[in-house]
Amino acid sequence: MSYILAIETSCDETSAAVVDDQKFVLSNVVASQVEFHRKFGGVVPEIASRKHLENINFVVGEALEKAGLTFKDIDYYAATNGPGLIGALLIGMTTAKSYAFVYDRPLVFVDHVESHIWANFLNGNEPELPAVAYVISGGHTSLYLMNENKEIEVIGSTLDDAVGEAFDKVAKILGLPYPGGPEIEKLAEKSKNPVSFPRPAIDSPDLNFSFSGLKTAVLYFYRKNPDKEIADIARGFQDAVIDVLISKARRALKEMRLKSLIIAGGVIANKALRHAFMRFAEEEGVNLSFPQFEYCTDNAAMIGARAVDAILQGKVGNYSTAAYAISRNR
Ligand code: KG4
Ligand code: ZN
């Protein structure tokens, strides 16, 4: 049995995990920085880097302690090298490089967005392959085709805002704190009379998305109807997003002639969205996989899971591996 110590610092979560070579999680520690960014209404890159630097060694230490291991027991050091905030990524990467150097172990660098998909393979879960894989996060909304060898190819992507980004922007319009996704979800549960918003790109013949028009529709509606219950606006927005996401999943599965769907990314933490996907899967006989709740939003366990297969595929890193800000395959 070999062990991987994985690090995630691409945005505002400082996380370290120990995962074994069968992708079982021995520990997964996540230190959120949300309270430091909230007053600015979004993530401030320089604050993110500084907080990662302050916390990373403690988070790594705690991950080892919870796993009941020491540095000497670790066989590989893994981190994400993008996409994300460059300064933030560098803290995690440099930490991994330093431990790998001191303990003379190999380094593995993996893609953050791909890793979200790998959250579905943790703790003995084996989604049926080939599958359509859907990443619905704060920075990305993309559809992929994943083959039996877990090689992925982009088949659709957002042309503007990612879904999580749209949630956060709509929350801001409605005067809710950052991050907006969970706030919209809570508020939407109270709605009795949801507003009907447009479903952008729902009928377009491709697999691409566009959410900035929906966000603008919410803005104009809110300006024109300041007395409307914001719960009804939140619910109307959430319903529109879910409708578009499900309809694109249906189209992708049909085009690829597949019956297996993997969903991933921070927005999947949304219960209404998960339930809508579960209903869809049941109605259409689709085999659906989604991560355990704690592995939906950013975490290092998913980085560890991705690293296990990267090692098998020979995609390891070295001391000169660089960080990148923007997805290479969107
Ligand atoms: O995957 P993630 O943790 O980070 C990125 O890689 O982007 O996703 C964060 C995004 C944020 O935009 C956040 O508002 C959204 O996921 N999110 C949610 C919920 N929880 C997190 N959106 C809707 N409902 C939620 N419950
Ligand atoms: Zn993420």
Q: What is the H or E stretch that residue 282 is in?
A: helix 271-284
Check if 138 has its Cβ closer than 6 Å to any atom of ligand 1.
yes
Check if 164 has its Cβ closer than 6 Å to any atom of ligand 1.
yes
- Collapsing DSSP states into helix, strand and coil, what is residue 325? coil
- Name all contacts of 198-207 with Cβ < 8 Å and 24+ positions apart: 198/240, 199/240, 199/243, 199/244, 199/247, 200/240, 200/244, 201/159, 201/244, 202/243, 202/244, 202/247, 202/248, 206/156, 207/143, 207/155, 207/156, 207/248, 207/251, 207/252, 207/255
Q: What single letter denotes the amino acid at residue 174? A: L
Tens of pLDDT, residue by residue, the chain (330 residues): 999 999 999 999 999 999 999 999 999 999 999 999 998 988 999 999 999 999 999 999 999 999 999 999 999 999 999 999 999 999 999 999 999 999 999 999 999 999 999 999 999 999 999 999 999 999 999 999 999 999 999 999 999 999 999 999 999 999 999 999 999 999 999 999 999 999 988 888 899 999 999 999 999 999 999 999 999 999 999 999 999 999 999 999 999 999 999 999 999 999 999 999 999 999 999 999 999 999 999 999 999 999 999 999 898 899 999 999 987 655
Give the C-alpha distances (Å, rounded to integers) separating 237 from 66, 125, 178, 209, 274. Answer: 40, 32, 17, 15, 16
- Which of 80, 235, 297, 330 has most ligand 1 atoms within 8 Å of its beta carbon, as the pocket-test mutant? 297
Looking from the CA of residue 138, the nearest atom of ligand 1 is 7
pTM for this predicted structure: 0.96
Q: Are 131 and 262 a contacting pair, CB within 8 Å?
A: yes
What is the whole-number distance in angstroms between the Cα of residue 228 and the centre of ligand 2? 33
Looking from the CA of residue 162, the nearest atom of ligand 1 is 12
Ion ligand 2 neighbours (CB, 5 A) are 137, 298
What is the DSSP track for 111-142?
Answer: EHHHHHHHGGGGGG----SSEEEEEE-SS-EE
Check if 139 has its Cβ closer than 6 Å to any atom of ligand 1.
yes
Q: Are strands 131-136 and 141-146 parallel, antiparallel or unpaired?
A: antiparallel
Nearest-angstrom CA–CA distance, 57 and 80: 16
